[in-house]
């Protein structure tokens, strides 16, 4: 998984705004951030760094295969 879990969200929107690839959305019902498009996560960690309560955990593997120039 890339962005893996949001636990203890206070609904401040910081992660949603700071995600360059629009992976996180606000759940209208709960008013908490949810990981909506993990396949688009570039694993840059900006969401985690901007989160004021340390709610976000991230792992280094992409959720989809990656294309590289050789392997």
Name the residues that contact other proteins, by CB under 8 A: 2, 17-18, 20-22, 25, 36-37, 39-40, 42-46, 49-50, 58, 60-71
Taking alpha carbons only, the member of 2, 21, 1, 12 closest to residue 55 is 12
Smallest gap from Cβ 3 to other proteins, in A, equals 11
State the Cα–Cα distance between residues 65 and 28, nearest whole angstrom: 31
Whether the CB-CB separation of 44 and 12 falls below 8 Å is answered with: no
Closer residue to other proteins (CB): 32 or 37: 37
Smallest gap from Cβ 36 to other proteins, in A, equals 7
């Amino acid at each position: 998984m890339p962005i893996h879990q949001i636990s203890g969200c206070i609904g401040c929107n910081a992660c949603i705004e700071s995600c360059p690839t629009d992976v996180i959305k606000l759940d209208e019902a709960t008013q908490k951030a949810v990981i909506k498009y993990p396949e688009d996560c570039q694993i840059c960690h900006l969401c985690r760094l901007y989160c004021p309560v340390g709610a976000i955990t991230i792992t280094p593997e992409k959720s989809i295969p990656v294309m590289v120039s050789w392997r």
